Chain A
Amino acid sequence: MGRKKKKQMKPWCWYCNRDFDDEKILIQHQKAKHFKCHICHKKLYTGPGLAIHCMQVHKETIDSVPNAIPGRTDIELEIYGMEGIPDKDMQDRRRVLEQKSHESQKKKQNQDDSDEEDDEDEDEAGPSSFQQPAAQPQAAYMPPMHPGPQAQGMLPAGYPGMPPMLTGVPPMIPGMPPVMPGMPPGMMPMGGMMPPGPAMPPMMPGMPPGMPPHVARPGMPPMAPAAPVTAPGIASRPAVPPTQSTASKPLFPSAVQAQQTVSGPSSTTSDSPKVTFPAYTQPSSTPPVAASSSTVAKPPATVTSKPATLTTLSATSKLMHPDEDISLEERRAQLPRYQRLIPRPGQTAAVAASAPPSGAVGGMIPAQRVIPPQQPGIRHPIHGQYGGPPQGIPGYMAGGMPPYGQSAPMVPSYQAGPPGPPMGIRPPVMSPGSRY
């Protein structure tokens, strides 16, 4: 968007190296971030302009451009948008951009240069495009999926049973037979479908699991060899998605039309945007600046490992948050004062009996699900948890037991665990407080 000739690259700010889609936005950014008077907030047009304003109006001198990266703070340089940028820096930038674009082409299609890790987002739309990374990686792995899993996906033969996420693809196969006859002659007419002969063998291995239903259909035997070949063919056909959408489960009302329309044109870019977790399984193509790399390592990060620490982004700001990258509630819940086993005095007897064997359940399931989330810093699985549940169930029915009279099903999940070292009963730290 914008003009075509942007000195052969997208507009970027010389002061802070940020990229922008448009020179207009770039100028707005410069005015707001670099040429704004810190005293009266008046926005000037250039660096020298700002200096002069401060001198004349406030009798103050400034010697560097606000919010500029080191080395680019020269207040004397008259830069406006992309004009005035010294040639040398221009060439440096071009070189850097080339390197970056080569790298990203080598990796799977990542987002474009505009996706910088940048904390200085303003109220205007300056964010990177989140949707594209989601779309592109899907394209990367959608095609290979076509022959294999979809066939199996349709075998259960239950549309209602199919998760809507896969609607983009599996319905294509059941959609094939009805679509086939209507297919443009360029595709697989029922009659002659031998042209894809050479393509068949590579596809066949993938198809057999899905083939039997096809083969069984009367009048459709010739479909068997044709099907695998059409699958990739179909994938690129915008005509097919509309049929698949009829079989797909209705998604969000406001989103349904959007998706159906998206599935059409998007098939040219990325097949079926509906598929899940593309951006998530690939560990974050845009690694967060602040969170240290261990968090980015893999989404299901083992919490038993040392919790990632946060880092502040710049020397000029401080994050009012404890260093570990666990939530405030998790941190607080680790404290002994918030971990109690015995709720009420009335239940103490019953619970005490069960507490030693079951109370330790949380404790000695080594680092599985219970402990780590609460105590990442404390490696000991033995350390107590909130062994609340066992006594909570029968004991807490203040009034009636009926629905949970058979609370047994729930309890075994805890008491069934192998008894471990007795945890001991935590002294109730907090009495119920003021009751009214």
Chain B
Amino acid sequence: MSLFGTNTGFGSGGTGVFGSTTTDSHNPMKDVEVTSPPDDSISCLAFSPPTMPGNFLIGGSWANDVRCWEVQDNGQTVPKAQQMHTGPVLDVCWSDDGSKVFTASCDKTAKMWDLNSNQTIQIAQHEGPIRTIHWIKAPNYSCVMTGSWDKTLKFWDTRSPNPMMSLQMPERCYCADVVYPMAVVATAERGLIVYQLENQPSEFRRIESPLKHQHRCVAIFKDKQSKPTGFALGSIEGRVAIHYINPPNPAKDNFTFKCHRSNGTNTATPQDIYAVNAISFHPVHGTLATVGSDGRFSFWDKDARTKLKTSEQLDQPITACCFNNNGNIFAYASSYDWSKGHEYYNPQKKNYIFLRNAAEELKPRNKK
């Protein structure tokens, strides 16, 4: 299938696909708009895995729905299906074979959505809203991992109503990521726990947070051999920490950088500091993207420790982002994230998901 990469029908310059209005601040980057976006804030996005042909995007929203679009090579997006929960959907993920989608909701349940039959069944139950959901594929087992505000991390075989395992966490789960055999969970009160998933999931290490503010998002990165080796952790204070699990020299290898702040280096005016809402690593280049409450996205090279690009400012915060499986498409969602409280919530305001050609902009900078 042709990739988005070099086709001219897609990319910078407003495409005629969905006639977005000119230089509106809702789409200053002139990226492709996904059709039929959800009616309320988008909480999570996930692209289909490489095991299935084509690019399918799943988005969960605060309107209790999960939507699936097919993203075609020419940039067109076709809504395919939708499922509902009884509460806002907070996280979604794909199974490794691309046939199932798992959704986690504030209604304390998680569901498995079989895309072929378009049926859903409940596969998990918590005592509080489920904040994160990830599919784990190990050589000797497969399961769904759910992290909840009830302070537990549970692992579910989708065929049984009882969890295979339940691990207690010190605090409510705020974000998590899984790259076998490693899982990282960041909790309230700046908790940070790494789990190892070989044989069976177990707690590996609790790490003292490299950040001084509430944890908001986390993403695992891999080394040159495609083994998970560390993670990027974002906080509400416009800062991301790059943390290696077993670095040769922690003081030198681990670092933090500031992002999603107004005013750059100008110290004259007070600086607005925004939360980092999501972090995603490019599957091929290993560079990362961050999106923030300030309505911008930025691309970074963590090895060269440089910023690659920062976007123009959208008129709404960017709440979610993800790369497709070959790294050619970067999807980001523009909707309100509650960073200014409920006063600034406008239910009438349209929510957007944008797709951007990511093949070029995320190439790593050569190390200086």
Q: Which residues of A contact B (CB under 8 A)?
A: 21, 36, 38, 41, 66-67, 117, 119, 121, 123-134, 160, 163-165, 249-255, 258-259, 262, 274, 276-280, 284-286, 288-291, 295, 299-301, 303, 310, 312, 315-322, 325-333, 335, 338-344, 369-370, 373-374, 386, 388-389, 391-393, 396-400, 403-404, 406-407, 409-410, 413, 430, 432-436
Q: Does B79 make an interface contact (CB < 8 A)? A: yes
Q: How far is the CB of A417 from chain B (nearest CB, A)?
A: 11
Tell whether B100 is near chain A: CB-to-CB under 8 Å: no
Q: Are A320 and B223 in contact (CB under 8 A)?
A: no
Complex alpha-carbon distance, A340 and B199, angstroms: 39
A residues near B330, Cβ cutoff 8 Å: none
Instruction: Report which residue of B206, B207, B340 has the largest number of chain A beta carbons within 10 angstroms of its beta carbon.
Output: B206
Task: Tell me whether B108 and A388 are in contact (CB under 8 A).
Answer: yes
Contact of A410 among B125, B170, B270 (CB under 8 A): B125
B159 interface neighbour in A388, A396, A403, Cβ under 8 Å: A403
Could you list 28 A-B pairs, sorted by A, with CB under 8 Å? Answer: A124-B255, A130-B207, A130-B243, A130-B250, A134-B208, A252-B228, A254-B245, A255-B246, A276-B205, A279-B207, A280-B207, A310-B214, A312-B273, A321-B214, A322-B339, A327-B188, A328-B236, A332-B342, A338-B88, A343-B85, A373-B128, A374-B128, A374-B149, A388-B105, A388-B107, A389-B108, A396-B121, A399-B119
A428 to chain B, nearest CB (A): 10
Nearest Cβ on chain B to A355's Cβ, whole angstroms: 12
**A38-B266 Cα distance, complex, nearest whole Å:** 7
Q: Which of B143-170 contact A (CB under 8 A)?
A: 149-151, 158-159, 161-162, 170
Measured CB to CB, the nearest residue on chain A to B150 is A369
* A333/B106 in contact, CB under 8 A: yes
- Interface residues of A: mostly helix, strand, loop or mixed? loop
Q: How far apart are the CA atoms of A342 and B85 in the complex, in Å?
A: 10
A400 touches B171 (CB 8 A): no
New A-B pairs, 10, CB < 8 Å, besides A280-B191, A388-B109: A129-B250, A132-B250, A133-B208, A254-B225, A279-B207, A280-B170, A288-B190, A339-B87, A341-B86, A398-B118
Tell me what chain B mostly uses at the interface: helix, strand, loop, or mixed. Answer: loop
Question: Across the interface, do B213 and A299 meet the contact criterion of CB distance under 8 Å?
Answer: no
| CB proximity of B246 to chain A, nearest CB, Å | 4
10 A-B pairs closest in CB distance? A388-B107, A399-B119, A279-B208, A343-B86, A277-B206, A131-B250, A373-B149, A258-B246, A280-B206, A288-B212
Given A41-B265, A397-B120, A399-B117, the answer on whether A436 and B79 have CB atoms closer than 8 Å is: yes
Chain B positions within 8 Å of A259 at CB level: 246
Across chains A and B, the number of contacting residue pairs, with CB separation under 8 Å, is 325
Q: Residue B294 at the A interface, CB < 8 A?
A: yes
CA distance A284 to B213 in the complex (A): 13
- The answer to whether B86 touches A262, judged by C-beta atoms less than 8 angstroms apart, is no
Whether B287 is near chain A, meaning CB under 8 Å from some CB there, is: no
Residues of A with C-beta under 8 A to B199? 160, 249
Tell me whether A125 and B131 are in contact (CB under 8 A): no
Q: With A130-B243, A164-B204, A279-B206 given, is the CB distance from A318 to B129 under 8 Å?
A: no
CB of B73 within 8 Å of the partner chain? no
**Which among B65, B190, B227 is the interface contact of A433 at CB below 8 angstroms?**
B65
Residues of B within 8 A of A276 (CB): 203-206
B51 sits at the interface (CB 8 A) = no
Chain B residues with Cβ below 8 Å from A300 are 151, 170-171
The one of A312, A316, A413, A432 that contacts B64, using a Cβ cutoff of 8 Å: A432
Do A332 and B198 contact each other (CB < 8 Å), given the known contacts A276-B205, A290-B237, A320-B274? no
A130→B267 contact, CB < 8 A:
no
Using A41-B265, A299-B191 as known contacts, say yes or no to A340 and B208 having CB atoms under 8 A apart: no
B189 contact set on A, CB distance < 8 A: 295, 299, 301
A253 near B227: Cβ-Cβ < 8 Å: yes
Q: How far is the CB of A39 from chain B (nearest CB, A)?
A: 10
Take A253-B227, A258-B246, A436-B82 as given contacts and tell me if A328 and B188 are in contact as well, using a CB distance cutoff of 8 Å: no
Q: A399 — which chain B residues lie within 8 A by C-beta?
A: 117-119
Q: State A67–B339 Cα separation when bound (angstroms).
A: 28
B62 close to A (CB within 8 Å):
yes
Minimal beta-carbon separation of B57 from chain A (angstroms): 15
| Cβ proximity bits B235-279 to A, threshold 8 Å, 1 near / 0 not | 011010101011110111111111001000111101111110000
A291 and B271 contact, CB distance less than 8 A:
no
Beta-carbon contact of A332 and B338 below 8 Å: yes
Q: Which of A165, A341, A397 contacts B203 (CB 8 A)?
A: A165
The verdict on B96 contacting chain A, using a C-beta distance below 8 Å, is: no
Flag if B270 contacts A404 (CB, 8 Å).
no
Q: Does B43 contact A (CB under 8 A)?
A: yes
| CA–CA, A165 and B43, complex, Å | 34
Whether the pair A321, B339 counts as a contact (CB closer than 8 A) is yes
From the candidates A123, A342, A373, A404, name the one contacting B172 in the complex (CB within 8 A).
Answer: A373
| Min CB–CB distance A157 → chain B (angstroms) | 17
A280 to B193, CA, bound (A): 9
Chain A contacts of B205 at CB under 8 A? Answer: 134, 165, 274, 276-277
Residues of B within 8 A of A250 (CB): 198
| Given contacts A299-B189, A332-B62, A430-B40, A400 and B270 within 8 Å (CB-CB) | no
B267 engages A291 (CB within 8 Å): no
Contact (Cβ within 8 A) B121 A333: no
Q: What residues of B have a CB within 8 angstroms of the CB of A369 in the complex?
A: 127-128, 150-151
Please report the C-alpha to C-alpha distance between residue A303 and residue B170 in the assembled complex, in whole angstroms.
12
CB atoms of A165 and B255 under 8 A apart: no
Contacts of A133 in B (CB 8 A): 208
B134 within 8 A of partner (CB): no
Q: Which residues of B contact A386 (CB under 8 A)?
A: 86-87, 106-108, 129
- CB-CB under 8 A from B216, the residues of chain A are 327
Assembled-state Cα–Cα distance A125/B151 (Å) = 33
Q: In the assembly, what is the distance between CA of A124 and CA of B265, in Å?
A: 15
How far, in whole Å, are A319 and B214 apart by their CA atoms in the complex?
12
Given A254-B246, A288-B190, A319 and B270 contact (CB-CB distance below 8 Å): no
Q: A96 to B106, alpha carbons, bound, how many Å?
A: 50
Task: Identify the interface centre among B119, B131, B214, B228: most chain A CB within 10 Å of its CB.
Answer: B214
Question: A80: shortest Cβ distance to chain B, in Å?
Answer: 21
